[in-house]
Structures are given as structure tokens and as C-alpha cells.
Amino acid sequence: TGISLGVIVIEASMRSGALISARLAMEQGREVFALPGRVDSRASTGCHRLIRDGARLIESVDDVLEELGPLVEAAPTDTGQVVHHPAELKLNEQEQAVLSAIGSETPIIDEVIVLSRLPTQRVLATLSVLEMRRLVRRLPGNRVTRI
């Protein structure tokens, strides 16, 4: 677990070495992810215990990427869009407009409304969605920033 960002446990019985790795990761402040399994399988009891004890439940690689956030520098897509986080690839036009209006600055929300050219209520609702997706964060002073 030394240089890793976290540990993913796919299958583990209660006496599994994977649980030792997970415990060490927790002690080192690393993220611990666990994939739930069949409730009647002994090979899933360790994962279920980890989830009960606070490990992040995952169902796909997207769950891990969403939790860890941006891991690399922003990269352009084929369309020229600059992507800072994998979740940005799944945004609709309205969400993209609001995120683009934020840019790399920390604008006040009124500036985001003007730059996005969307109605105030839509911008506010979209900001809430982007916050839940952990792409933006509201700051004091009615400001917003990308994460």
C-alpha cells in the first residue's frame, strides 16, 4: 500500500491477506474500496465487513475514478474539449456550459450565470448536480471552483 492512492478488495474471506492490506491502507490514510459479493459466499464476507466498517462500496472503475478525482493533468478530447476529470465526459450540454463558465478561476455565481447564458435557476440546479458529482465546490463569498 506504500505509494498507492488506495486499495481495492474484490473478494476476501474473513481470514484473507487482502484484509491485512486493507487495514494497512486505512492506517496509512489511503482509500479502501470493496466490491460487494453474494451474501451466501464465504469469499465475500471480508468485503462485506470492509463496507460495513467504512470502505467505499464500488461497482465499477467509474466509482473509483469518481472518488479519487482527477489523477492527471487536464487532457484535450478529440473535439478539443479540455477534460479535468473523467466524469466530465458524461456531462450534458447544460452541465458543460456551467463548468466551462467556471473555467480555472473561482468566479462568483453571478458571473457563471452570465457566462453560461443560462437562466439563473438552471445554473443553480446544475451547480448542485456538479457538486454531487464532485466536479465543483461552493466557496465562501458566493464563489464556486472546480475540484
Helical H segments across the chain, by residue range: 17-27, 45-52, 61-68, 93-102, 109-116, 120-132
Question: What mean pLDDT is predicted for residues 38-59?
Answer: 94
Residue 13's pLDDT band (boundaries 50, 70, 90)? very high
Distance (Å, whole) CA 69 – CA 20:
25
Domains, the chain, in order of start with CATH, read 6-68 (no CATH), 75-146 (1.10.10.10)
pTM for the structure as a whole: 0.51
- The whole-number average pLDDT for the span 10-26 is 93
Tell me the per-residue pLDDT of 62-95, one tens digit each, with 9 for 90 and over.
Answer: 788 777 765 555 545 556 655 555 565 567 889 9
Residue with cell 481470514: 15
- Beta-carbon-side half-sphere exposure of residue 52 (alpha carbons within 13 Å): 6
Phi, psi of 110 (to 5 degrees): -60, -35
Q: Is-contact 66 133, C-beta < 8 A?
A: yes
